[in-house]
Structure formats: structure tokens, C-alpha cells
Chains A and B, each alone.
Chain A
């Protein structure tokens, strides 16, 4: 119960204090939103369904990573982070609370393109349970990636810039806008090492009805990636946060 109280209040505080910080607005909200609108406006109606999985995946990716870059680095720099480290809660509880704020933000972000697409396209064929599970898992894995980056960064801009090194290539490597089949064969192995590839594939199945892998396989791979990233984060956090 005590842990639950602490968890919930950290989450609530992050939402209250950091959702609307400028670096989160620019990279977490404005960037995915303008990319979405640009794509939707310049595409003929027919293709919107084709675009939607990529747009959703991108919104989750940018939303979660930028939110973590903000909630971790802002709080570290103001040294209020020490308060969280001093609280009698386990480090995992603290990490989960921090991740949850970003995951919720990313998931809400995913449905912004859906809201726009509804005006232009017929989404009745979508398998929502699979779509939601895919969005959740993309959010979890990208939040962990964001955390891994934020742990090593000192300033917010540093975390955002460093995130961009990963985020932008992933837009093209993970089948968001260019199908993996069309990628040159020497980059394909990289694609298959990125969890977002499997998340986008699952979204493709849910929305467009076609995918490279079976959705169950995609879910399995993303859970494995999640566990691995969580382990790496814990290790890095212990090294970087407690000197």
C-alpha cells in the first residue's frame, strides 16, 4: 500500500510538472503531430490506412522518449531527483513510476493520428485489441530506450539530441514508412535488431491486415526486448545514480 501511494504520487507529479515543459511539447507533441498532418494532407485518401500504423508507431516513439528525457533530466538537474532516491521505495518502483508517466503519454499520443485518420478513412476493419497491445509494447520498449539514454545525459537538450540519433534512423529502419522488404539487404539485419520493427509489424496486422510475422511472435519478441532493456536500465541506473 505504501509503495502504491508513492508510485501513484510520483506518476501524478510527473504528469502535472513535466507534460507541458517546452522540450516535451516540441519533440513529444508538435513534431509527431506535424509529421502526421504533413503525411495525411499530401496523401490521397486511399493511402491513409497504409500510413496509419507508421504514424502511430512514430507518435509513441517520440512521445515516450521525449517525455523521459524531460522527466529524468529536469528532475536530476534540479536535484529533486535525490528526494526520490532517498524515499524508502525500491529502485524498481521508482523506475516503474517514471516509465509509467512516459508510457501513458506515448499511448495517448498514438491515438492522435487515429483521431485524424477517422475523418478520411474507414477504420472499421481494425483489430483494436491487437492494436492496443502493440501500442502498449511499443510504448514500453521505447520508454526503456528513452530511459537508457536519459540516465546517461546531464541536460535535457543533450538527452533529446542523443535520442534523435536513434529516433530518426528508426523511422526508416523499422518499417514505419518504408516497408522492410524495400530496404537494401545490408541494413535489414539492423532492422531486425530493433523492437520497433516488431511493434510496427503488429500494428500493420491490426490495421491493414497484413504483416511479415505472426502477431504472437511479434508480442513475444517485444516482451524479450523489454526484459533485456529493463535489465540494462537497472544496471546503468545503479552505476550512474548512486555514485
Chain B
């Protein structure tokens, strides 16, 4: 069942069109990812959905509520983790969580119980008594996420949850996202890390320059990505002239020699290995290892954005 539906959403800042007529929907209980480079319009989209900014045009329905008109009704059932760690530096971890819970009208006993639980869940119990401004970046991020779920929201918005933090905290955060999904929460996550999107998302929308250029489940996206098969052989021996000879001998193959001891083979059909290995062996080249190279979302992204996205923009994503 669809819990979020966005239609023809646009956002203009002055003359600049930051979000350009996007439409998508999110199913209840899924992790939906918005993947795109910096400045693509991810935060602008989130801000319109959560009521921090007004759409220039378009419709947003969240859990049956018109999110453009009934902002406060929607805010009751959503949790938001913004891209900045915007808790109060003057207050400690426990106070911050209690304050955020109070904003949702939770009573004192309930607030304090929940705050303790969350500090424990995020391994922050010891830091609970220290002021937020003294936290490391990873700890700040974790507490900001804890604050976003303090009132047990039905739908969670995460804006770049792991950008700029240490590997271990990022791993914990990804695990937490999957735990929340198991609890039945619907999650909207934006990221510019392709790997992360592939790991945690059920469905992904690629957003570039304010437009959704592709949308689908991770599998769908991968299946469409690279037509054909790719093999990588680890070899030893002289590779001079091997490329042309191989291509002449096996007409269906395309061959690349990326370095002195590997051969990259691309083909439309599946490739039978033993004739190639035998042929190479006869040339005095031993094959030590052969593996299929699976397409990654990166390939998909490059394929899709090939024309509409410059190389440097693509590199930012990777």
C-alpha cells in the first residue's frame, strides 16, 4: 500500500528551479532512497514533504493527509533527521532527547524512560551526561537520529544520515535503519553514497539537477544496467597483442587489457571459459583466477546520467 505519494512537485528559489516536476510514491514499510549528487535537490524535496518549505506547485499526500495543507497533522506521524546535527550544544544527550520528546507532548516519566532506552540502544549511555557540543561527529549524528525517532514515528525521513562520519558509526547507523525497517517503519533516505543506497534501500530514485532520471528496485535497476556479461581473468605471461588475437579468434568477445596481469572480457552471451583458458594456455599465459564482474549501481548511474551529468558531478557521487 502506498503511504506517500508525490505528484508533479516543483520548487523554485527565485528563478532557479531546484526541484523540477518530480513524482514518486513510497510503499508502507519500505526503505526508499533518493540518490543523487550534491545540489541535486534532495534536501529541497524533503523540506517540502515535512513542512519546512512550501512547494511552488505539486501535491504531497502522506498517510492520506494533504501534507501541503495539513502540515501539523503530518508532523505528528513523521520523524525527521536533518542533514545538520541540529541539537542543542548547551544541553546534554539526555536533556536533548527529553526536550525533543516534550515537543511531541510526551509526559515526563515517559520521556525519561524513552531517552534512557535510546541512549542505551545507540551506545551513548556514558555520553548522556555530557553536553552535545562536546560530542564527536559520529556521536552527534547518532544522537540526532535518536532524537528523530524519540516519538516513535510511523515514517522516518533521513537526510544524508552517514555523510562525513567515521566508518564504524556509519555501519551502526545502517544497521539501525534495517532494524527500523524490520519494525515496520517506512523510511525515506537521501544519500550520495551509491554503496549505501544499494545496501539499505528497497527502491531507489536517481535524482540529478532536480529531476528523477530513473526509479526502481535495486534489482530492476541492476538488471537493466549492463546488457551482457563481464569477466575478469587474473593471468601471468606476456599480453602483447593478445587483445586483437583473442577478438579475432572468439568473434563475439570484446577484450580489454587493463593492466599487465588481467584481461577483461565482455560479451553479449554467456561466455564458456575453458576454450579461452586453453587458448591462453597455448600462448603461454596461465590463468589463475576468473570471476564475473557484477554490475553495480554505479554502472547504472553512469549509464543513465551519461549525457545529463558531467564527469565531475558523477565523481562527487562516487
Contact = CB atoms under 8 A, between A and B. Distances in A.
Interface of A: 1-3, 5-6, 8-10, 13, 16-17, 78-80, 82-90, 242-243
Given A88-B103, A88-B104, 18 more contacts: A2-B104, A5-B107, A6-B104, A8-B102, A9-B102, A16-B90, A16-B91, A79-B86, A82-B86, A83-B86, A83-B103, A86-B52, A88-B72, A88-B76, A89-B103, A90-B72, A242-B51, A243-B13
A82 B90 CA distance: 17
A87 B104 contact: yes
Interface string B82-115: 1010111111000000011011111100000000
16 contacts: A1-B105, A5-B102, A5-B105, A6-B102, A13-B99, A79-B82, A82-B52, A85-B52, A87-B103, A87-B104, A88-B73, A88-B76, A88-B105, A242-B54, A243-B47, A243-B54
B316 to A, nearest CB: 23
Interface in B272-294: none
A82 B82 contact: yes
B59 to A, nearest CB: 18
Contacts of B91: 13, 16-17
A83 B47 CA distance: 12
A207 B27 CA distance: 68
A104 B90 CA distance: 21
B60 interface: no
Contacts of B106: 5
Contacts of B88: 13, 17, 78, 80
A13 B102 CA distance: 11
Given A1-B105, A242-B54, A243-B53, A83 B100 contact: yes
A82 B86 CA distance: 8
A83 B100 CA distance: 8
6 nearest CB pairs, A to B: A2-B105, A9-B102, A87-B103, A79-B86, A88-B76, A88-B75
Given A2-B105, A17-B91, A9 B99 contact: yes
B80 A86 contact: yes
Given A242-B52, A243-B54, A84 B103 contact: yes
A243 B106 CA distance: 29
Contacts of A78: 86, 88-89
Contacts, number: 72
A157 to B, nearest CB: 19
Interface in B36-86: 47, 50-54, 72-73, 75-76, 80, 82, 84, 86
Given A3-B105, A9-B102, A242-B52, A86 B75 contact: yes
Nearest to B80: A86
Contacts of B103: 6, 9-10, 83-84, 87-89
A87 to B, nearest CB: 4
A100 to B, nearest CB: 15
Q: Which of A8, A10, A84, A88 gathers most chain B CB within 10 Å?
A: A88
A86 B86 contact: no
A79 B80 CA distance: 13
A82 B50 CA distance: 11
A218 to B, nearest CB: 37
A84 B51 CA distance: 12
B50 A86 contact: yes
Contacts of B72: 88-90
B176 to A, nearest CB: 20
B145 to A, nearest CB: 14
Contacts of A89: 72, 103
A16 B91 CA distance: 9
Q: Which of B75, B102, B103 gathers most chain A CB within 10 Å?
A: B103
B73 to A, nearest CB: 8
Nearest to B105: A2
Nearest to A9: B102
Nearest to B100: A83
Contacts of A85: 51-52
A83 B169 CA distance: 23
A24 to B, nearest CB: 13
A77 to B, nearest CB: 10
Contact of A80 (B52, B73, B87, B107): B87
A89 B106 CA distance: 13
Interface string B175-201: 000000000000000000000000000
A5 B99 CA distance: 10
Contact of B51 (A1, A86, A90): A86
Interface in B1-51: 13, 47, 50-51
Contacts of A86: 50-52, 75, 80
A206 to B, nearest CB: 38
B75 A87 contact: yes
A242 B48 CA distance: 10
Given A2-B105, A5-B107, A88-B104, A80 B86 contact: yes
A134 to B, nearest CB: 33
